[in-house]
A and B are shown apart, each in its own frame.
With several copies, the nearest count.
Chain A
Amino acid sequence: MAELTLVEAVNLALARAMTDDPNVVVLGEDVGVNGGVFRATVGLQDRFGPGRVIDTPLAEALIGGMCVGMAAQGLKPVGEIQFMGFMYPCIDHLVNHASRLRTRTQGRITCPMVLRMPTGAGIRAPEHHSDSTEAMLAHIPGLRVVIPSSPARAYGLLLAAIRDPDPVVFLEPTRLYRSIKEDVTDDGQALPLDTAFILRQGRDVTLITWGAAVRETLAAADDLAKDGLTADVIDLATLKPYDEDAILASVRKTGRCVIVHEAARTGGFGAEIAACIAERGLMSLLAPIERVTGYDTVVPLPKLEQHYIPSTDRITSAARRACTYG
């Protein structure tokens, strides 16, 4: 058991998966000798060779498409896109192929691939390095979209994603890569997909979030506790398919709900959660649902990004509004 950062936990899970299963291959830009621009794949090429840890040419559509072909042959490709803002040329392969191959062939050919990509703002990176467009992916039938919020969950969920028989997009919050450490045991234990993590138990309000925003949301829960307000804090972890029951159970208990995500508000995945509650949990609601999100603007460059990312204060005051409503 060791204190690891999230990116170290990703590296550990990759090494474990490659050790356990010779079909696992890693491919992407700079993943080999350089160990990835975030060091997520460091050491893997030395251990498993250039045949299984592949520095690809600079072409994201190629990475996405090769994963489809490799997975169709029963390999377990783990592709890396260097930043989410460079992922868009892969969407064609995700929508039209990876997510449909099983259906199109009625189970004859499957697509057990993982596409890893760093997501989110907050590390003072240049233009196009701060996107969190997970909602675009979570709309795609046949796909899984997973996003961890701690080193231990990164380790367990990445192992689960790699072992999953269907395609998974695995989002890694850059803001958390090195900012938190946690004990991680390299026991090869996967964590369940499609299942939310209840990080706090409370009575007064439900806070639903995922990825990097989990950190500010937990901080908000602490602030609320100072006022004697206790919150359920739900880390959705898998956005597609998502854990409706965990959400509904909590809202039935608290009657008040704040959804937090970094992505732009309109059409963000928080909308889906609000819709789920408005359809199946409406009558337990005691206050309007609140969404605390990034704005519907282009993610600002570093000078202003901290004003875009949902702050603990914004979450706390939304929760207070929800708790004092009516």
Chain B
Amino acid sequence: MPLDRGNDTALPVIAQFEIRRRAYLSATGELTTPLPPFAVAPTALIPLYRAMTLLRTLDAKAVALQRTGRLGTYGVALGQEAVVIGTASAMEDRDVLFPTYRENGALLWRGVPVETILAYWSGDERGSAVTGHREDFPICITIGSQASHAAGVAYAFKLRQQARVALCCMGDGATSKGDIYEAMNMAALHKLPVVFLIDNNQWAISVPLKRQTATATLAQKAIASGMPGEQVDGNDIIAVHAGISDAIARARAGDGPTLIEAVTYRLGDHTTADDARRYRSDDDVKAHWQQEPIARLKRYLVAQGAWTKADEEALIATCQRQIDEGVERYFALPARPPASMFDHLYEQLPPSLQRQKDELERGLANG
């Protein structure tokens, strides 16, 4: 464990910092550390296992739809399911999620219907008019910009003395954006109830982490803002859930923000618009399949006698049905009239815009 001594070991030390790591399940599903209370009963982990499986089923289906021209660009969370579900499952309903395009599984967990998620990725604004948690932010595409939004939402919670938490998701690449740092500095300064999660899948499209930053960890970026930072094994859903839960508890108690780095690996392409073979070898990827979170948890559950082959077959069937039904509802979604692009621009459409709307409708009428 390297100790960055700064530049002159003769000088007196005026501040010291440490980054710690949380992990419970080994790649092969053995316990390496005593479990946190919530995870002691294996059955408590089954809903998480189900949700990870459902996400992987959705991802596979979405890619199939995209390949056959029935969906737009889509990014799978293959291999990252523990980060996505471990995080969402640590939140309460009243908390506010700031998802990126990797968090489709978190939307599912928080009650967004499959057809709504698919509508979004098909290029339909109704995909962000979610019925689930109405205060959750829409998926953030512009990397990093969500961090200050989360700080603003958390500020509102604090001002109104609501015991609510903003959970801001970002990738490893996002940590290079100044936005993140500005928001973390503000959040730490005002002890805002926000948790920053770095879903470190070690790639930003084609850029590997070692060409994104020189730091030994991403968790240490918290030190620049004065908030605690922690690394968790992002392929161990128990570690993710526990790390996020503790951070949320601190935020809710008024003890301020935390940065959690969850280390995982992007087993899939960046999105369906990407071909990862251009910039990384299949062998690297294969090696990381040994670490993936679903098989890991399954091994543990089976070893604990909490999961059987029959359970697995039933689960796969259920997930398949759930997704297929969602896809049917997605296909059945009526088209939006073109002029609806004006409908939610302002609370009331100004006259000049009304003229443009009429212009569009006239044009459609005339063929």
| Residue ranges of A at the interface with B (Cβ–Cβ < 8 Å) | 25, 29-30, 32-35, 37, 51-52, 54-59, 61-62, 64-75, 77, 85-86, 92-93, 96-97, 101-110, 124-129, 141-142, 165-166, 194, 241-242, 244-245, 265-266, 295-298, 300-305, 307-308, 311, 313-314, 317
Contact = CB atoms under 8 A, between A and B. Distances in A.
Contacts of A165: 346-347
A74 to B, nearest CB: 7
B360 A295 contact: yes
4 shortest interchain CB distances as A-B pairs? A69-B152, A65-B148, A302-B123, A34-B206
Contacts of B174: 58
A308 to B, nearest CB: 7
Contacts of B145: 65, 92-93, 96-97
Given A37-B273, A57-B213, A241-B352, A141 B148 contact: no
B221 to A, nearest CB: 12
B279 interface: yes
Contact of B153 (A29, A73, A301): A73
B148 A93 contact: yes
Interface residues of B, number: 80
Contacts of B335: 303
Interface in B331-367: 335-336, 338, 340-347, 350-353, 356-357, 360, 363-364, 366-367
Interface stretch (B25-33, B176-184, B232-240): B176-184
B151 A62 contact: yes
Nearest to A82: B205
B142 A65 contact: no
A69 B148 contact: yes
Nearest to B119: A303
Nearest to B185: A57
Given A65-B149, A303-B336, A297 B156 contact: no
A300 B364 CA distance: 16
Residue among B156, B205, B357 with most chain A CB within 10 A: B156
B70 to A, nearest CB: 12
A236 to B, nearest CB: 13
Interface string B83-102: 00000000000000000010
B241 to A, nearest CB: 25
B46 interface: no
A61 B341 contact: no
A127 B340 CA distance: 17
Interface of B: 72-73, 101, 121-130, 134-135, 137-139, 141-145, 147-157, 159, 166, 173-174, 176-179, 182-183, 185-186, 189, 204-207, 211-213, 273-274, 278-279, 335-336, 338, 340-347, 350-353, 356-357, 360, 363-364, 366-367
Contacts of A308: 341
Nearest to B131: A108
Residue among B153, B182, B356, B367 with most chain A CB within 10 A: B182
A74 B342 contact: no
Contacts of A166: 346-347
Give the dominant DSSP class at A's interface: loop
B192 to A, nearest CB: 10
Contacts of B366: 317
A62 B148 CA distance: 6
Given A75-B159, A304-B123, 10 more contacts: A29-B204, A55-B207, A56-B186, A66-B151, A73-B156, A92-B142, A124-B73, A241-B351, A242-B352, A295-B357
Contacts of B279: 33-34
A53 to B, nearest CB: 11
Contact of A295 (B138, B342, B344): B342
Contacts of A305: 123
B174 to A, nearest CB: 7
Nearest to B147: A65
Contacts of A109: 134-135, 137-138
B132 to A, nearest CB: 11
Nearest to A308: B341
A245 B350 CA distance: 12
Nearest to B346: A166
Nearest to A86: B142
Nearest to A50: B211
A57 B176 contact: yes
Contacts of A71: 152
A59 B128 contact: no
Contacts of A73: 135, 152-153, 156-157
Contacts of B360: 295, 307
B345 A313 contact: no
A30 B123 contact: no
B346 A65 contact: no
Residue among B124, B125, B204 with most chain A CB within 10 A: B125
